Structure 1
Amino acid sequence: MSADTGNHTGSNLDDDHVYLSLAEGHDDGSDARWAFGTGFEDPLYGVDTTVPEGVDAGELAATCVALADDALVSAQRLAEWCTRAPELEEEVALANIGLDLLGQARLLYARAGQVDGTGRGEDAYAYVRDAGDFRNVQLAELPIGDFAFSIARLLALSGWRLAHLQRLISHPDPVLSAIAAKGVKELTYHRQYAAEWAVRLGDGTEESHRRMSTAMNQVAPYLGELFTAYDVQGEVRSEVVEVLRQVTEAAGLPLPRVGPSNGGGRDGQHTEHLAPLLAELQSVARAHPEATW
């Protein structure tokens, strides 16, 4: 798959101080990391967070929360591969992809709390909401399955998220635009990693081909939900399907069929798998509210 497949740029990636502020560390020497109880600073510290004129703050907050929920839940599922991945190198790779997504979630939750009128921090979004309050797509919350399924899911989600964030670079809110520009670089690697493994498994042994084919079929019913929101005249769908076509063709796999969406996570309708995942994720924070150490 060529490196520029589906490339879409909305504005200069080196956009002024906002992007630089997101990319740089704090200059006050504070230890700013996202971990419950560590007394971290605002991850958007030093960035002008004024909502531009003409931008609907409610819509902006909803977009940030939905994208953050996708990232947080996906990261939690990827973390489940620790000690389980087929090779140590892949365990490290999956953990790093999860950390990238956690970083994106942190910035997006922080932005949502600034513009939705609540002033909530990222912990409040991650740790004290129930499953029905989350807005992640259902595909992100499904159990990890075997390695082939996780690769198929990562390919679909990273391709979809990359296409969406590429378009958000041109969003009138400079903070969301900068977050998107930062995420695009990470997601380009995530998609490439998943594509390479999909081809390796699909074009490998009889067993690996069978598993990868099964995984693509398992992902297929959840693809429709990805294209029900934030799509511009079907552009995101067309771009993602083209990426899937290239990968499955190279791997000798059937192209997953994108069916209609019957609603889903964006409306707070989740599978039975999300609540147990959140129970594990939130257990310490809920057991010791406002704890510090």
Structure 2
Amino acid sequence: MQSSIELDRKPSTQYLLRIGDTCLILAQRLGEWCGHAPVLEEDIAMANIALDLLGQARAVLTRAGELEDTPHDEDQLAFLRNERDYLNLTMVELPRGDFAFSVLRNTMIATWLKLLWERLAASSDSELAAIAGKAVKEARYHQQHSGDWVVRLGDGTDESRRRMETALVDLWRYVPELFDTDAIDDEASAAGIGPRWADLQTAWMADMKLILDEAGLTVPKDSAFRSDGKRGRHSEHMGFILADMQYLQRAFPGGVW
């Protein structure tokens, strides 16, 4: 069994891992829809969104590994870390749920990523800026595609609206983590690497409100609950995801195609 790698915990690396891990884990969840979406076209669309996110994760994880004092490649970072070393948003590790849950989650994360990539396109890190320049185009499409489904379901049948309202309540309690700012954000902002996540909140709320208003959905009240996946404190679901993701790399160290 291949042992886990050790990270140096530099703020710049952790800032990038939070982004790359969020894309990676959401891609894993979206892959679960392959063969299970309600219509064939959407089955393909979900898989394509997952591939886009996987590409973003690869690029960001590669850059994060290059910034470490002891460099690691994208595969090592993706497959050979302990659970507490993954720094993704908790929202993306939640179980697949029904179609309403998935398209709403996609919309929330795509809106957040779109705003983040727009800011990162001006990063002092030229490699990260180049990644953002391509990724923002994908995020805009993801937001539009998933947002259209939110509107269609929210303004659809009684059943589709009920499911969308349930998904909105279930997901909204994880929203504060998207804008939780700490010392890692502060250092990244001071170095010009990227924005504090809190700086995205106003624009994100405005974008989401437009979509929810068109869908006839009401923004839920804030709760006292706070998730903390971006600091390595995950839900009970994360271990099961990693068990699937890491099996081959752990069982066959150094294996190649």
Q: Tell me the TM-score normalized by structure 2.
A: 0.88
1:288 corresponds, among 244, 248, 252, to 252
What residue in structure 1 maps to residue 212 of structure 2? 248
CA contact (8 A) 1:108 1:179 kept: yes
The Cα shift of 1:233 comes to: 8.8
Determine the structure 2 residue equivalent to 1:211.
163
- Does the 8 Å contact 1:169/1:177 carry over to 2? yes
Measure, in 2, the Cα distance between the counterparts of 1:102 and 1:120. Answer: 18
- Name the % identity: 41
Q: Which residue matches 2:192?
A: none
Q: Which structure is higher in helix share?
A: 2
**Over aligned residues, Cα RMSD in angstroms?**
1.6
**Structure 1 outlier segments of 4+, above 4 Å:** 230-234, 258-261
- Residue in structure 1 matching 2:52, options 76, 100, 120: 100
* Distance of aligned partners of 1:214 and 1:263 in 2 relative to their CA distance in 1, 3 Å threshold: closer
Between the aligned partners of 2:77 and 2:197, the Cα distance in structure 1 is 31
Question: How big is the shift at 1:292?
Answer: 2.2
1:162 partner amino acid: K
Query: What secondary structure, in the 3-state scheme, does the structure 1 residue paired with 2:69 have?
Result: coil
Name the structure 1 match of 2:40: 88
Show the counterpart of 2:174.
Answer: 222
Secondary structure of the structure 1 residue equivalent to 2:54: helix
- Aligned mate of 1:132, from 55, 63, 84: 84
CA shift, 1:148, in A, is 0.2
In the alignment of these two chains, the number of paired residues is: 237
> Equivalent of 1:74, from 14, 21, 26?
26
Asked whether 1:265 is paired with 2:229, we answer yes
**C-alpha distance in structure 2 between counterparts of 1:275 and 1:126, whole Å:** 14
1:26 equivalent in structure 2: none
Q: 1:155 to 1:179 in 2, by over 3 A?
A: same
Offset at residue 75 of structure 1 (A): 0.1
- 1:123 counterpart residue number: 75
Structure 2 residue runs of 5 or longer lacking an equivalent are: 1-8, 186-194
Counterpart pick for 1:114 among 63, 66, 77:
66
Measured at CA, do residues 272 and 116 of structure 1 come closer, stay the same or move farther in structure 2, by a change above 3 Å? same
Query: CA contact under 8 A between 2:173 and 2:226: conserved in structure 1?
Result: no
Q: Structure 1 stretches of 5 or more lacking a match? A: 1-56
- Between the aligned partners of 1:292 and 1:225, the Cα distance in structure 2 is 37
Alpha-carbon displacement from aligned partner over 1:222-262 (angstroms, at most 9, x marks no partner): 00000013555944111111111111111111124455663
Q: Map of 1:133-212 to 2, 5 A cutoff?
A: 133-212=85-164
The structural deviation recorded for 1:61 is: 1.8
**Secondary structure at the residue paired with 1:254?**
coil
User: 2-side partners of 1:262 and 1:97: how far apart?
Assistant: 28
State the distance in 2 between where 1:75 and 1:233 align: 21
- TM-score, length of structure 1 as denominator length: 0.77
Cα distance, 1:109 vs structure 2:
1.0
Cα distance change on mapping 1:161 and 1:261 into 2, 3 Å: farther
CA contact (8 A) 1:244 1:255 kept: no
What amino acid is aligned across from residue 241 of structure 1 in structure 2? Answer: M
Deviations 1:29-62 (A, max 9, x none): xxxxxxxxxxxxxxxxxxxxxxxxxxxx933322
Greater Rg over alpha carbons, structure:
1
